[in-house]
Amino acid sequence: MSKIKNSSSKELITLANEVRKNAYAKYSNYAVGAAVLGKSGKIYTGVNVENAVYPLTLCAERVAIFKAVSEGEREFEAISVVTDNGGSPCGSCRQVLAEFGMDMIVYIADAKGNLLEETTVEKLLPRAFGANDLP
Distance CA 101, CA 119 (A): 13
Is 61 a catalytic site residue? Answer: yes
Phi, psi torsion values for 47, nearest 5 degrees: -135, 160
Q: Which of 61, 73, 118, 122 is catalytic?
A: 61
Buried b / exposed e along 102-117 (16+ C-beta atoms within 10 A): bebbbbbbbeeeebee
- Residues with a known catalytic role: 61
